[in-house]
């Protein structure tokens, strides 16, 4: 059963929170990153980019040590404050008509090891170890693992009651995303929430497989160094943001390939015909609306691809996944792409207008062909995770995307 714990968060001072909270480092362009670092002295980006202070690019363990120093400076300058009592932190994030209401908590590495916390993605050992070394040096985690749970009426009732109170934070960031956070410090409410989640059979990682795997490695390392290890130490847990399944948004990743693997257009279409009924679309942009149907853009024209189910056999949850079907019937056998993560011939795109971007990229000659899919749904993710299987890379783009530095978990 799932173990969730309150924790004493390190949080931005109320008057600085909108300046501190940052998007994931990878989401910033070089120009945007430089501007934030230059004009916003409170941004969390200063902590994870400590070399900016010295006008120098710093990497490796030296960077880790300097991250720790910048973090301590934020504490010394009271940009960050530490709560005096363990709390859950109810957090609503939303933009336009999309909102998610979940809570920050500490989850157990033991649950991760015992598959109470379910995974659906492969992790790269080198990246796991690098981030574990980072955590060990800096002594804190500012990026929660996003996890989902089956909707629970009682938990929803408790949260609806909590959001009637005055929030700790309420602000809007420059990308027009609204953020509201409430502290849950009442012992009875905390105990009831612990009991509710203690009856759940599983939590599902939506985003943060490497972060959770690295937290597990960190716990193993620190346990070996602690002769009086009890299992209750902070390193036995990691920060997570839990949301009900109904409040997660899943988008698809399109696939674009640079060439047809030496085939002409006609030869390529003939090979596709083995597994697909192919129809040329005459109605402009075409996006599929059903599972096992794909949109293909090739030499200025859209095609619909309908899987011939007499030629393709569903054997498990993975074989039924559209990203896997596309890989096993087209990308690997016809286009010769075996390594979806590292092959330079394939690229991925997501987002509201990505079908247009895919078309433009093919028209401009950057790619020879593009494929559009329908989004994977939560039931498919759970089926993969429950079976201990692994999705192909770039199968899902999941929202909400959480801010760094809003709550920090210390080891």
Give pLDDT tens digits for 292-333: 999 999 999 999 999 998 999 999 999 999 999 999 999 999
pLDDT tops 90 at residue 213: yes
pLDDT tops 90 at residue 196: yes
pLDDT for the residue numbered 56? 85
**Contact at 8 Å (CB) between 107 and 3?**
yes
pLDDT tops 90 at residue 352: no
pTM over cut 0.75: yes
pLDDT in tens, 99-126: 999 999 999 999 999 999 999 999 999 9
pLDDT for the residue numbered 351? 75
Mean pLDDT for the stretch of residues 161-171: 97
Peptide bond into 400 cis (omega under 30): yes
At residue 5 the predicted structure's pLDDT band, cuts being 50, 70 and 90, is: very high
Nearest CA among 329, 333, 284 for reference residue 305: 329
**Which H helix or E strand runs over 309?**
none
Gyration radius of the chain over CA positions: 23
Report how far residue 50's alpha carbon sits from residue 60's, in angstroms, rounded to the nearest whole number: 12
190 dihedral zone (left: phi>0; alpha: psi -120 to 50; beta): alpha
**Contact at 8 Å (CB) between 295 and 303?**
yes
pLDDT tops 90 at residue 96: no
> How many of the other CB atoms lie within 10 Å of CB of 173?
16
Residues 6+ away with beta carbon under 8 Å from 133? 61, 64
Which range is least confidently modeled, 54-63, 372-381, 383-392? Answer: 54-63
CATH 3.30.1760 is the classification of domain 253-376: yes
Q: Rounded to whole angstroms, what are the CA distances from 85 to 89, 183, 187, 192?
A: 12, 10, 10, 17
On average, the pLDDT of the chain sits at 96
pLDDT in tens, 18-72: 999 999 888 899 999 999 999 999 999 999 999 998 888 888 899 999 999 999 9
pLDDT tops 80 at residue 195: yes
- CATH 3.30.1760 in the chain: give the residue spans: 253-376
Residue 309 or residue 89, greater confidence:
89
The residues with which 94 forms a beta bridge, in sequence order, are 99, 178
> How many of the other CB atoms lie within 10 Å of CB of 399?
18
Report how far residue 103's alpha carbon sits from residue 181's, in angstroms, rounded to the nearest whole number: 9
The angle that helices 153-162 and 187-198 make with each other, rounded to 10 degrees, is: 160
Strands 145-149 and 203-207, how do they pair?
A: antiparallel
**Which H helix or E strand runs over 334?**
none
> How many of the other CB atoms lie within 10 Å of CB of 339?
11
């Amino acid at each position: 059963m799932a173990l969730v714990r309150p924790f004493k968060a390190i949080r931005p001072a109320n008057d600085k929170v909108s300046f501190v909270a940052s998007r994931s480092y990878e989401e910033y362009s070089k120009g945007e990153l430089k501007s934030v670092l230059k004009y916003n002295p409170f941004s969390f980006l200063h902590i994870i980019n400590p070399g900016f202070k010295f006008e120098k690019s710093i990497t490796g363990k030296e960077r880790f040590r300097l991250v720790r120093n910048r973090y301590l400076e934020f504490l010394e300058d009271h940009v960050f404050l530490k709560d005096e009592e363990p709390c859950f932190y109810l957090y609503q994030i939303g933009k336009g008509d999309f909102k998610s209401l979940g809570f920050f908590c500490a989850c157990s590495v033991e649950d991760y090891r015992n598959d109470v916390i379910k995974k659906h993605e492969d992790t790269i050992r080198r990246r796991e170890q690098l981030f574990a070394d980072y955590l060990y040096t800096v002594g804190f985690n500012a990026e929660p693992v996003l996890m989902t749970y089956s909707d629970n009426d009682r938990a929803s009732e408790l949260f609806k009651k909590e959001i009637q109170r005055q929030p700790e934070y309420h602000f809007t960031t420059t990308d027009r995303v609204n953020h509201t956070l409430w502290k849950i410090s009442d012992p009875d409410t905390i105990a009831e929430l612990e009991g509710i989640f203690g009856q759940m059979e599983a939590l599902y990682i939506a985003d943060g497989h490497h972060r959770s795997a690295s937290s597990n490695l960190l716990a193993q390392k620190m346990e070996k160094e602690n002769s009086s290890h009890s299992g209750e130490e902070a390193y036995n847990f990691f920060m997570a943001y839990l949301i009900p399944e109904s409040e997660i948004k899943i988008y698809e990743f399109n696939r674009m390939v640079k060439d047809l693997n030496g085939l002409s257009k006609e030869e390529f279409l003939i090979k596709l015909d083995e597994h697909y009924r192919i129809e040329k679309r005459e109605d402009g942009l075409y996006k599929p609306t059903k599972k096992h149907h794909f949109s293909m853009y090739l030499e200025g024209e859209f095609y619909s691809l309908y899987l011939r189910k007499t030629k393709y056999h569903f054997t498990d949850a993975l074989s039924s996944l559209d990203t896997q079907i596309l890989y096993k019937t087209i990308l690997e056998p016809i286009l010769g792409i075996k390594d979806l993560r590292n092959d330079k011939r394939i690229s991925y795109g997501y987002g509201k207008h990505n079908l247009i971007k895919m078309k433009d990229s093919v028209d401009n000659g950057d790619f020879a062909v593009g494929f559009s899919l329908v989004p994977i749904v939560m039931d498919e993710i759970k089926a993969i995770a429950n079976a201990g299987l692994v999705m192909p890379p770039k199968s899902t783009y999941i929202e909400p995307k959480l801010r760094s530095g809003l709550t920090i978990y210390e080891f």
